[in-house]
Structure 1
Amino acid sequence: MRRIVLILMVIAGTFFSIGDVAAQRYAFVDMEYIMSNIPAYEAAQEQLDQQSQRWEQDIQDVYAEVEQLYKKYQKESVFLSAEMKVQRENEIIDLENAAKQLQRQYFGPEGELMKKQQTLIQPIQEKVSVAIREIADREDYDAIFDMAGNMGVVYVKPRQNISDDVLKQLGLSN
C-alpha cells in the first residue's frame, strides 16, 4: 500500500511539474533591432565611431613616424658610430613602445573607448532593460531571450532562479 501511494505521488508530481513548465511564458526580443531604432543609441554609436577614427589616426601617425625614423636610420647607419646606432635604435624602440601604449590607452580593455562607451551606451541599455522588465512583469513572462544572440537571456523572473536550491543540494546553503 505504501508503495502504491509513493508511485501515485511521483506520478502526480510529474504532472504538476509538466503543468508548471507548460504554464511558463517566454518571449524574445531582437536587441540589435531595438537599439538600431533608438536615435540616442545611433548618435552615441556615431560619436564613438568618430572618436575611434581620430584615435586610430593618432596611432597611425606615430607608427608612420617610427617607419620614417627607421628608414632614415637604415640610410645613415653606415655613417653612424656604434654609440649613435644604439641611440637611434633606442629612439625608434621608444617611439614604437609609445605607439603601443597609446593603442592600449585608447583601445585596451580599460581604455578610453570602453570608458566612453560605458558613458554613452550604458544608460541607453539600462533604459531598454527597464522597459523589458516592465513588459515582462506586466505580461507575466517568466523569461525573455535575445534573438540577436548578443545577450542570451535578457530577463528571468527571480522565482526561476534555482541557484540557492543547487547550493542546498550540494550541502553549501547560505
Structure 2
Amino acid sequence: MKTYLIILLTAAYFALSAAGVSAQRYAFVDMQYIMSNIPAYEAAQEQLNQLSQKWEKEIQDLYADVEQLYKKYQKESVLLSPDMKTQREEEIIQLENSAKKLQRQYFGPEGELMKRQQALIQPIQEKVSGAIKEIADRDNLDAVFDMASNAGVVYVNPRQNISDEVLEILGYSK
C-alpha cells in the first residue's frame, strides 16, 4: 500500500510539474541595427561627437598652456627669487586644477556630455522600448533579448529577430 501511494504521489508530482511548464515565447532585437536606422539617433550621435571634440580641444589647449608655463618656469627658475618661484608654481598648479575641473565638468559622471546624451538619446531609446513592448504584447512574448549586447546569445534564428518590426512601428520601415 505504501509503495502504491509513493508511486501515485510521484506520478502526480510529475504530472503537475509538466503541466506548469509552458512554452515560453521569446524574440530578439538588434539595438545597434535599430538605432542606426533612426535618423534622429544618428543626428544626436553626431551632435554629441562634435561637442565632445570641441570640449576635448579646449581641455588640451589648457594642458598645453600648463606645459608651456612649466617649461618657462624651469628655464627661469634659477633667476627667480623664492617668492617668485612660489608664485609661479601656484599659477601652474591653479591652471592645471582648472583644466582638471573643466574636464570633470564636461566629461565627468554628472558632466555636460552625460546630460546632453540623456536629453538627446533617452527619448529615442524610450520610443524604441515602447515599440518593443508593443510587439511583445501583441505577439504574447515572454522575453525580448538584445543581440547587440552579446549577453550570452550564441545563435539566433532570424525568424525570432523583430528588429525590422520595431523600425516599422516607429515609422522607419526598410
Which amino acid is the alignment partner of residue 117 of structure 2?
Q
Q: CA deviation at 1:16?
A: 1.7
Give SS of 1:130's match. Answer: helix
Once residues 45 and 149 of structure 1 are traced to their aligned partners in structure 2, the CA distance between those partners, rounded to angstroms, is 19
Which amino acid is the alignment partner of residue 143 of structure 1?
A
Once residues 107 and 129 of structure 2 are traced to their aligned partners in structure 1, the CA distance between those partners, rounded to angstroms, is 27
Aligned partner of 2:97 in structure 1 is 97
Aligned partner of 1:164 in structure 2 is none
Aligned partner of 1:66 in structure 2 is 66
Cα distance change of structure 1 residues 35 and 15 upon mapping to structure 2, 3 Å threshold: same
Aligned partner of 2:12 in structure 1 is 9
Aligned partner of 1:75 in structure 2 is 75
Which amino acid is the alignment partner of residue 124 of structure 2?
I
Which amino acid is the alignment partner of residue 16 of structure 1?
A
- The 5-angstrom pairing of residues 123-138 of structure 1 reads 123-138=123-138
Aligned partner of 1:168 in structure 2 is none
Would you identify which runs of 4 or more consecutive aligned residues in structure 1 move more than 6 Å? Answer: none
Give SS of 1:7's match. Answer: helix
Identity of aligned residues (%): 72
Which amino acid is the alignment partner of residue 31 of structure 2?
M
Q: Would you say how many aligned residue pairs link Structure 1 and Structure 2?
A: 149
Once residues 13 and 72 of structure 1 are traced to their aligned partners in structure 2, the CA distance between those partners, rounded to angstroms, is 83
* Residue 116 in structure 1 maps to residue 119 in structure 2: no
Deviates more, 1:8-17 or 1:102-111: 8-17
Q: CA deviation at 1:6?
A: 1.4
Which amino acid is the alignment partner of residue 83 of structure 1?
D
Give the TM-score normalised by the residue count of structure 1. Answer: 0.82
Once residues 8 and 108 of structure 2 are traced to their aligned partners in structure 1, the CA distance between those partners, rounded to angstroms, is 63
Aligned partner of 1:106 in structure 2 is 106
Q: CA deviation at 1:72?
A: 0.7
Aligned partner of 2:143 in structure 1 is 143
Q: CA deviation at 1:151?
A: 8.0
* Backbone CA RMSD of aligned residues: 1.5
Unaligned stretches of 5+ in structure 1? 153-174
Once residues 139 and 80 of structure 2 are traced to their aligned partners in structure 1, the CA distance between those partners, rounded to angstroms, is 78
Give the TM-score normalised by the residue count of structure 2. Answer: 0.82
Name the structure, 1 or 2, with higher relative contact order (CA <8 Å, separation 6+): 2
Aligned partner of 1:54 in structure 2 is 54
Which amino acid is the alignment partner of residue 129 of structure 2?
S
Once residues 88 and 150 of structure 1 are traced to their aligned partners in structure 2, the CA distance between those partners, rounded to angstroms, is 53
Which amino acid is the alignment partner of residue 100 of structure 2?
K
Give SS of 1:134's match. Answer: helix
Partner deviation per Cα, 1:54-88 (whole Å, 9 max, x = no partner): 10011011001101100110111010011111110
